Structure 1
Amino acid sequence: MHAMQYDITLPADYDMGIIRDRVATRGHLLDDFPGLGIKAYLMRERADGSPVNQYAPFYLWASAAGMNSFLWGPGFQGIVNDFGRPVVQHWTVLAYDEGPAAASAPRTATRTRRPVPARLDPAEAVERSLERHLIEAKTDGVVARAVAVDPRHWELLTFTLWADEGAAEPNADRFQVLHLSAPGRTGIAPGRQW
C-alpha cells in the first residue's frame, strides 16, 4: 500500500471558499475510483491559526495501478491545470488500523513527519513507530491511522483521521477534512503491511 500527498500552498489572502466549493462539486468523483483505499480532502487555513492556507489531499492507495491511473489520468491533470504541478510526496505504508471512532465521518486529520536519525538503525526506528501506532490507533476519537516511511529521505509519517478535533500531537500539522472518498477502505488489511 502507498501513501501519497501533495501540498498546494495558497496566498495568505486566498479565498478558501474556492477550495470548499471545489471539493463540494468534485470530491464525489473519486468515491468509487479503482485501487483507491482512502482519499481525505484536506485543507488548513490561516483564519483557523494555521501558518498557511493550504489544500493538501492525502491518499492511501490499495494498489500501485490505481495510483498510476490517477496520476497519469484526468484526475491529477485537473490539479495541474488549476494550480500547476505540485511535488507529489509518497511513502510506503507500514501499518494501517481503524480506531474506536471508525464508524464516524472524520472532521479533522493530523500529519506528523519525522526524520529517521542517521545514528539510529532504520529497522529499530520502524519498530518504535509501529509500537506507538498500535497504542495511538486506540485513542478515543480516532477514525483511522496509518504509519508510513520514505526510505529515500528516511522520513517516517503518521496520518490520523479524527471524528472530532483530535488529540494534541506535538509537531503535527492539523487539517480540516472536507470530504472522504473511501472506495477500498473495507479492503485495507489492518495492522502491519508485511
Structure 2
Amino acid sequence: MHALQYEITLPADYDMEIIRKRVATRGHLLDDFPGLGLKAYLMREREDGSPVNQYAPFYLWAAPEGMNAFLWGPGFQGIVNDFGRPVVQHWPGVAYAEGPAAAAAPRAATRRREPLPEGVAPADAVTDALARHAREAAADGAVASALAVDPRHWELLSFTLWATGDVPDDAGDRFQVLHLSEPGRRRLGAGRLW
C-alpha cells in the first residue's frame, strides 16, 4: 500500500461550490481505476472552521503501477491543467484496517501528521504508532484507517474515514468527503503491511 495526497489551497473568497461540482461531474472517473485501493475526494472550508479553503484528495494505492499510471496519465494532468502542478506527498503504508462502520459511506476524514520522536529507534516508533492505529481504526464511526511513514522526513501519517462528521477532537485535520472511489479497497490488506 502507498498513500498519496496533494493539497490545492484556494483563496479565502473562492467559491467552493466549484469544487463540489468538479467532484460531482468527475469523481466517478476513478471508480474502476486499476491499482487504486481508494480515493477520498476531500475538501475543507474556512466557513467550517478550517484555516484554509482546500481541495485535498487522498489516495491509497494497492499497486505502484496504478499510482504511476495516474500520475503520468490524463487523470493527474487534469489537476495540472486546472490548478497548476501541486506538490505530491507520498508515504509508504505500514498498516490498514477496516473500521466498525466499514459498510457506511464516509462523510468526514481526518489526517494527522507528526514527526517520529527524536532519539527513538524508527522501528520502535512505528510499533507504538501501530498500537495507536489499531485503537483508532476500532473507534465508533470509523470506516477505514491507514498508517504510513515518510522516511525522508521521518513523519507518521494517520488517515481515517468516518461515517459521520462527528470525529474525535484529537484526530487531526478534518475534511469533508465529497466522493469515495474504492475499486481495490479489498486489496489494501489488513493490519501490519510487512
| TM-score, normalised relative to structure 2 | 0.98
Aligned to 2:14: 14
Unaligned runs of 5+ in 2: none
Work out the CA distance in 2 between the residues paired with 1:45 and 1:103.
27
Q: Per-residue deviation at 1:171?
A: 6.5
1:17-56 per-position Cα deviation (integer Å, ceiling 9, x unaligned): 0000000000000000000000000000001110000000
Q: Per-residue deviation at 1:188?
A: 1.8
Work out the CA distance in 1 between the residues paired with 2:188 and 2:88.
22
Q: Per-residue deviation at 1:118?
A: 2.4
CA 1:190–1:166: 2 relative to 1, 3 Å: farther
Quick check: 1:62 aligned with 2:41? no
- SS at structure 2 position matched to 1:50: coil
Question: What are the residue-to-residue correspondences of 1:175-194 with 2, within 5 Å?
Answer: 175-194=175-194
RMSD over aligned CA atoms reads 0.9
Quick check: 1:74 aligned with 2:48? no
Aligned to 2:156: 156
Quick check: 1:123 aligned with 2:118? no
Q: Percent identity?
A: 73
- Please say if residues 94 and 192 of structure 1, whose CA atoms lie closer than 8 Å, have aligned partners that are also in contact: yes
Aligned to 2:51: 51
Work out the CA distance in 2 between the residues paired with 1:141 and 1:168.
10
Of stretches 12-21 and 110-119 in structure 1, the one that deviates more from structure 2 is 110-119
Of stretches 165-174 and 60-69 in structure 1, the one that deviates more from structure 2 is 165-174
Q: Per-residue deviation at 1:15?
A: 0.2
CA 1:63–1:135: 2 relative to 1, 3 Å: same
* Letter paired with 2:79: I
